[in-house]
Structure 1
Amino acid sequence: MAKVGYARVSTEDQRLDLQLAALRNVCDRVVEDQGVSGSTNKRPGLISVLRSLRSGDTLVVWRLDRLGRSLRDLIQITEKLSRRKIEFVSLTENIDTASAGGRLVFHMLAAMAEFERCLIRERTCAGLEAARARGQRLGRRPSLNEDECRSAYNAVVLQGEDVDEVARRYRVHPRTLTRHLRRMIITGTAG
């Protein structure tokens, strides 16, 4: 049951001294990322630490923002640790998931993050609904307009041209052209 520390600074100019001193007082070993932003998933030190931790171990950070920049990122990491029966400690915020109080604080943070995600989803849905009500077309622009579809239909179905050749002419993939043609036949807009 090892305590493994993780220290990170975002730029090469910043120093790890304060974090390292605090972590070395409580950890068996410390892994660091120098000059690596918390917003990136490419943190070699963190990846190494997460792979090395075993059930019963504890991941220790000096401060929560050293582990991840967003609350969502922090929660994802700690949930993965929890599933693997690995504890998490943040020294500055005094969060320790091995204690009931630490788990409570962390779950409150998780609940707030979930609430925030729900609000974002509701606003997004409301915005989409308002756009539909204004008659705006949502999603990606069709690869072929109605005239191009009719012309392609005539070329392939009526004149017997090769689908690949017609698709190339309209700069679409043959599957895309086939899908448009099938839709025209099903909806009866072909003729």
Structure 2
Amino acid sequence: MNQRIGYARVSTDDQHLDLQRDALQQAGCSLVYEETASGKNAQRPELSHCLKALRPDDTLVVWRLDRLGRSLPDLVRIIEELQGRGIHFESLTEKIDTGTAGGKLQFHVFAALAEFERSLIRERTQAGLSAARARGRNGGRPAALSDKQIRTIKSLLRDPTTCVADVARDYGVSRTTIYKHCGVIKPRISKDENFETV
């Protein structure tokens, strides 16, 4: 027998599931999975249980689209996975039902919008990198030390009494950064050396 299974989610403990629960039960859901989790949180165990419980020709029902997906691409991904398993999807507020021809059309529009969004993000990223390269900057994290700082540090370290740890602290970087950028050879400690604890 085909089942209508509901999924309800609120973001905080201060919110209540009553509205969603009532709407899902009135829509004929024999089982409703409920959880409190932020929409930004990828870890939603009740949603995972819900998706595992669904069988071909079952219908996953939500009160509103944003209860299911963390973003439009995430929503499309979940629904595409359901479709691949022969499972229908229904959102009560938006009146979308992928078990109907109209609902399938709406979903294809969402999928196209999600792909458009991904393309825009890629284009903006490439444009930003190109503009940065044109200004003489490469992508990635900014350098921890400027060329001028590196020259100054090298000059300081020519004095054998200068401590690398002190220089690193003064410039707000780690000793590893000093070793990496300033050509300093990291001291090696022999395993055979014995140290006395004062």
Q: Same fold (TM over 0.5)?
A: yes
Q: Secondary structure of the equivalent of 2:56?
A: coil
Which structure's residues are more often helix, by fraction? 1
Q: Does 1:98 align with 2:67?
A: no
Superposed CA offset, 1:59-101 (max 9, x none): 0001111112311111111011111111100011110001110
CA contact (8 A) 1:39 1:68 kept: no
Alignment partner, residue 127 of structure 1: 128
Q: What are the within-5 Å matches in structure 2 for residues 123-162 of structure 1? A: 123-139=124-140
1 CA distance for matches of 2:14 and 2:140?
A: 44
* Residue 170 of structure 1, CA deviation: 4.2
2 CA distance for matches of 1:36 and 1:53?
A: 21
CA contact (8 A) 2:129 2:138 kept: no
Superposed CA offset, 1:126-173 (max 9, x none): 111111111113335799xxx9xxxxxxxxxxxxxxxxxxx9x947xx
2 CA distance for matches of 1:55 and 1:75?
A: 18
- Percent identical among aligned pairs is 59
Q: Secondary structure of the equivalent of 1:79?
A: helix
2 CA distance for matches of 1:3 and 1:57?
A: 6
Alignment partner, residue 185 of structure 1: none
2 CA distance for matches of 1:57 and 1:101?
A: 18
Instruction: Look at both structures and tell me which one has the larger radius of gyration over its CA atoms.
Output: 2
Q: Secondary structure of the equivalent of 2:61?
A: strand
1 CA distance for matches of 2:40 and 2:137?
A: 34
Superposed CA offset, 1:14-53 (max 9, x none): 11111111111211111101x3112111112111101111
2 CA distance for matches of 1:123 and 1:59?
A: 35
Alignment partner, residue 81 of structure 2: 80
Q: Secondary structure of the equivalent of 2:133?
A: helix
Q: TM-score, normalised by structure 1?
A: 0.71
Alignment partner, residue 33 of structure 2: 31
2 CA distance for matches of 1:124 and 1:113?
A: 17
The answer for unaligned runs of 5 or more in structure 1 is 148-166, 172-191
2 CA distance for matches of 1:138 and 1:69?
A: 28
The answer for unaligned runs of 5 or more in structure 2 is 145-149, 151-175, 181-198
Q: Secondary structure of the equivalent of 2:137?
A: coil
1 CA distance for matches of 2:142 and 2:19?
A: 53
Alignment partner, residue 18 of structure 2: 17
Q: Secondary structure of the equivalent of 2:39?
A: coil
CA contact (8 A) 1:11 1:37 kept: yes
CA RMSD of aligned residues (A): 2.8
CA contact (8 A) 1:11 1:36 kept: yes
Superposed CA offset, 1:88-133 (max 9, x none): 0001111000111001111111111211111111111111111111
Total equivalences in the alignment: 155
